[in-house]
Structure 1
Amino acid sequence: MKKNLLSFGFLFLNLFCPGFSQTYLISNVNILSMENEQVLNNHSIFVVDGKIQKIAPMTEPFASNLNHVIEGNGSYVYPGLAEFHSHIPVAQNGDTQLQEEAMWMYLANGVLRVRGMIGHASHLPLKVKIDAGELDGPRLLLSGPSFSGSSVSSPEQAEQMVRDEQAAGYDHLKLHPGLEMDEFLAISKTAKELGIPFGGHVSLDVGLEASLRGGYKSIEHMDGYIEAMIPDYSRVLDSKIAGPFTMLLVNEADLSKLPALVDLTLETKAWIAPTFTLFDRYFGSKPAEEYRNIPEMKYMSAEQVQSWINAKTPYEQSGVLTKEHVKPYLEFRNMLFMTLHKAGVPVLMTSDSPQVFNVPGFSIHHEIELMSKAGMSNFEILKSGSVNPARYFDQEDEWGLIIAGASADFVLVENNPLEDLNTLKKSYMVVMKGEIYDRSELKKQLDKIEGNHKR
C-alpha cells in the first residue's frame, strides 16, 4: 500500500532504496516507553519488519550502512492512544466508506487501538483487511452484537449467542441493559467456559454487585455505581424519577456504601471505562444545536449530526438537562472516577465514538481534557490509552509499550505529553505496525473525508 514518505513538519526522511517501511531508523527522539514516567532523551528507534528491534541512546552507533533514517529533531514518541469504547460504523450493503473514514480519523488523531463495543458482522472483514495491510487503520478488538433485553429471550438462547460470537471470531462480549438475572448468569457461565471477556452496562435486574461477582471485566460508563448507592431501589427502576443513567437521583446516593463497592471492584479485578465526553456532551447542559457547527463535525454527514441533535433534544425539552441537574451529576461522576482510580481500579481510555457529538478520533482529546480536569495525572491518562488496553487483553508485551520486540505502533509529537496534553492533538507522524503515515498524508485523508460530507 502506498504511503506518503516525503519530508513533513520538522522531520526529515532519507530515502535511498525501496522497502523503507520494512527497515529504518528514527533518530534523535525523546521516548516515553510507558514502562514508567522516565523519558529516554536523545534516543533512536530501529524498526525491522513492523517490529521495534532496538532502542538505544544516540551515543550508541548503529550500522554505518543504514540508509533509511528519519531525523526526529527532538520530537517526543509515545505509544499512541486508545478508543476502547467505539461504535464502529456498519457497512451498508457492502459500502465500507464510513468504516474506512472512521479508521482514518482515528489514525489522524493518534488513536492506534480501538475496541468495538457494538458489534456487527461487517466489522470482522474490516479487521481482517486491516491486519492484512489491505486497509489503513488502528488495531481492532471487536465485541459482537450486544446482549440486551431485546436480543436475548432466554438463558438457553443467551448461551448459544455467546458460543456463536466466540466461534465467529469476536474478541469480547458487550452487555446492554434489560437482561434478566438467569440470562445474565447463562452469559457469564458460558463466557468464562470459553475464555472470552465481557462487560458493558449494568442491567437493573442484575445490579452492580452481581455483575462484578459474575465476571464483568469492564464496567462501561461507570454504570451501576450510583444505582447501587440509592437506598430506595424502586426509585431507580422508575425511569421518570431516575432520569438517564439515574442522574436525577445522584443527591440520594449513600456515600457510605462506596468503599465497599470500591473494594468489590478491586476484588473482582474489574476495569472502568468512564466515557466522560459522552456524558459531557449528550447529557450536558450545553444545547444540542451548539454542537452542529463545531470544527470536527465537518467530518460527519449532515444526517448524522442531525440524528445526534434529535437524540439529545427530547431530554432538553423535558427539562432533564438543566444546569441544576447536570452540574451535581457530572461532579459526582468525577468524584466516583477519582475514588476508583486512586484505589487502584484500572482505567480504559474511552469516548464512545461515533456517538452523540463524539467524532471518531477527535473525541478522544475531549475525553483526555475531562480526565485531566477530574484530577488524573498526565502519565496515568497516557497509560489508560496505551499500557492498560494491551494489558486488558493480556497482550502487554506485544503493543502499548515502546520496547524492543513490541509492534512498531507509536506517534511522534512536538512536545512532552507528560507536560503538555494539547500536543497530542497534533500528530506529526503516526507509525502503525511499522507503516509510516506522515502529517501531510493524514491531512490529505481528513480533507478527503471533509469533501465527502460537504454541507
Structure 2
Amino acid sequence: MRAPYRKWMASLVMPGALAMLLGATAALGAAEPDHRAVAITNVMIVDVDGGHTVGPRTVLVEDGRIASIGAPGAVRIPDSAQRVDGRGRFLIPGLTDMHVHLFNLSSHRPPNDWSFAMYVANGVTGVRDMRSDAASILLVKRWRSAVDNGELVAPRVLATGIAVHGKSPGDAAAGVDAAAAAGADFIKVFSDVPSTHWRAILAEARSRSLPVVGHVPASVTLLDAANSGQLTSEHLTQAYEACSSAEGKILEERQGLSDDALMSRASSQEAKVLDTFDQAVCRRMAKALATTGQVQVPTLVLADEDSFAQSADHGDDSRWRLLRPDEQVRWQRFLADYTKEDATLADLRWPIAHRIVSIMHQAGVPIMAGTDSPMPGVYPGFALHEELQLLVASGLTPLEALRAATLEPARFLHIEDTSGSVAVGKRADLVLLDADPTKDIRNTQRIRAVMLAGRLLKRSDLDALLNDAAKVKHP
C-alpha cells in the first residue's frame, strides 16, 4: 500500500459530520422510461453459476424481472415487446463493484453522483459503498427508490456501511450501536483501529447481526482477523505481512500504537514487508485462510494510481472530462504527494500483490472484484474492467473473474435469489456484449446495451449518458 495512500486513508478514519443536501439526486437520463417488455433474441448466455455458455436463447424481460428464458421460438413474445437482436452476442449479469466511495465525508464535498453515468455505461449495475453516515444512508434510500422507479439512471447501491473507530473500546461499541440505528448494512474498520477497539467492535456487531468488513487493523494478523469474524480484507491489508517471513517481528514493533502513530510505523516498515515476501509462508497462510471463509477484495487496480502519478499528461485521457471539477482538483493534489520512494515501493508491491492473489486463489480463498473508485487514477466503471483483467493476470480464468463481479458479490450480500446470474425470476440487471468474455476478459468492455432493472439502454443511450455527464461543470 503506497505511502500517500496510507496518508489518505488516515484522513478518513475518524467519523465526520456532513450536512447532506438530500434533494440533490442528479437524475441523469431521467426521461420517462419505456415500460414495455423486452425480448433479447438468439443470444448466448454466460451462465456464471453453471460455469458454461448456453444458447442461443431468447430472454424475455417483464416488469424489471427475467420472465422467461428458452430456445428461439419457444418463448412467447408479446406483440408490444421491444426486440433486441442478440445474434452473435453474449449476455452476462450486471457487474458489481464491491468497493466504491459515493460520499466525501472528510472533505465535505457533495456526493459522487457524477460517477453514476460512468458506472452504468460500463455495465456496472450494482455497487457496495464503503463509507457513509446517517444522512448519506437516507440519500442512498432515495437513490434506490429512484432507480427502481426508473427515475434515475444509476447503479443500485447494494450495501452501505459506517466506519467505526472510537476513543475507547466502550466508545467503539457505542459507535456500532449508532451505526445500527442509522440503518448501516455493515460496519467498516480501518487500519489504524487499535486491536482492543476492534475486538469490541466485532463483539457488539455480532450482537447486532451486523457484518464487520474493511481493512484488517495494522496490529492484527490477517488470520486472526479472519478467525475472529471480520468477513473481508480490503486492499490485501495485512496480506503482505501475512506472506512475510518476518510477520511476527513486524507486528511486534506495532504493538501499543494506534491512529497516526500506528500508520506511520506501518508505512515505515513497508519496504521490509515486501523484501521479506516468502512464497512458502504465503501458501501456508492461504491454505489456513481458505478454511475461515473470509473474502478478499484486493483492488489490484489501485496500481493505476501509480500509473496516473507518473503519467506525463493525465488530461490526455478521454475519461478526464467525465470527472467533476472538484474531483479533478483532488486528483491533481494527489500528484503533489507522490515521491520517488512511492514509485520504488510501487515497483516492488504490485508483482507481489499479483503473486499473493494467485496463491490465495489456488488455495480456494474467495475473491470479489472492487476498485476503490474514485481514488486518483481509478475511473468509476472503467476501473472494474481493468480489475477483472488484473484478476485474470493473477491466475483467475475469465469465467472466475466474471463470478468475482457477479455471483460472488450476490452470494456475499445474500441476494443470490434475485441477483448475480441470468435466470428466470431474477432482477433484469444485464449487460449485452458483442464478444465472448469467457474467451477474453477484455470483451466485457465491448458493451452493446445495458439493462437496469428492466430498463434498456442501448449503446447510443450509454454514449449520450456519458456526454451529458461531461457537461456537468458544478458540484
**Contact preservation (8 Å) 1:282, 1:312:** no
Query: How far apart, in 1, do the equivalents of 2:227 and 2:195 lie?
Result: 13
Q: Are positions 1:365 and 2:385 aligned together? A: yes
- In structure 1, distance between residues paired with 2:230 and 2:284: 17
Distance 1:158 1:243, change over 3 A: closer
CA drift of 1:84 comes to: 0.6
CA distance in 2, matches of 1:235, 1:313: 33
Match 1:106 to one of 116, 119, 130: 119
Query: Take 2:326 and 2:61, find their aligned partners in 1: how far apart are those partners?
Result: 43
Whether the aligned pair in 1 keeps the contact of 2:308 and 2:314 (CA below 8 Å) is no
For 2:75 and 2:265, locate their aligned partners in 1 and report how far apart those are by CA, in whole Å: 68
Partner of 2:158: 141
Is the Cα contact below 8 Å between 2:101 and 2:129 reproduced in 1?
yes
Matched, 1:412 2:432: yes
Matched, 1:266 2:290: yes
Q: Aligned partner of 1:120: which letter?
A: D
Q: 1:351 aligns with which of 365, 371, 375?
A: 371
Report the TM-score, using the length of structure 1 for normalisation.
0.87
User: Shift in Å at residue 334 of structure 1?
Assistant: 0.6
Whole-angstrom distance in 2 between the partners of 1:89 and 1:49: 31
Task: Give the whole-Å Cα distance in 2 for the aligned partners of 1:164 and 1:265.
Answer: 31
Opposite residue 140 of structure 1, the aligned amino acid is V
Structure 2: state its 5+ residue gaps. Answer: 1-26, 255-261
Residue of structure 1 in register with 2:140 after alignment = 127
Matches within 5 A, 1:13-92: 20-62=34-76, 65=79, 67-90=81-104
Q: Structure 1 residue 164: deviation in Å?
A: 1.7
Distance 1:239 1:175, change over 3 A: closer
SS at match of 2:469: helix
Shift of 1:313: 3.7
Letter in 1 for 2:304: R
Instruction: State the shift of 1:156 in Å.
Output: 1.4
Letter in 1 for 2:461: E
**Over the residues paired in the alignment, what is the CA RMSD in angstroms?**
2.9
Shift of 1:349: 0.7
- Mapping for residues 24-423 of structure 1, pairs under 5 Å: 24-62=38-76, 65=79, 67-90=81-104, 99-132=112-145, 133=149, 134-148=151-165, 152-228=166-242, 229-231=244-246, 232-233=249-250, 237=254, 243=267, 246-278=270-302, 280-283=303-306, 287=310, 290-317=313-340, 319-322=341-344, 325-423=345-443
More deviation, 426-435/340-349: 426-435
- CA shift in 2, pair 1:168/1:64, >3 Å: closer
Instruction: State the AA in 1 paired with 2:117.
Output: W
SS of corresponding position for 1:143: strand
Counterpart of 1:11?
none
Identity of aligned residues (%): 23
Shift of 1:46: 1.3
| Paired position in structure 2 for 1:446 | 466
Using the alignment, how far apart are the partners of 2:171 and 2:332 within structure 1? 36
TM superposition score normalised by structure 2: 0.83
Unaligned runs of 5+ in 1: 6-17
Q: Say which of 431, 442, 449 aligns to 2:451.
A: 431
8 Å contact kept, 2:215–2:233? yes
CA deviation vs aligned residue, 1:272-298 (integer Å, no higher than 9, x gap)? 0011111x1234696155434322121
Say if 1:223 and 1:245, in contact at 8 Å, map to a contact too: no
Distance in 2, Cα, partners of 1:113 & 1:277: 18
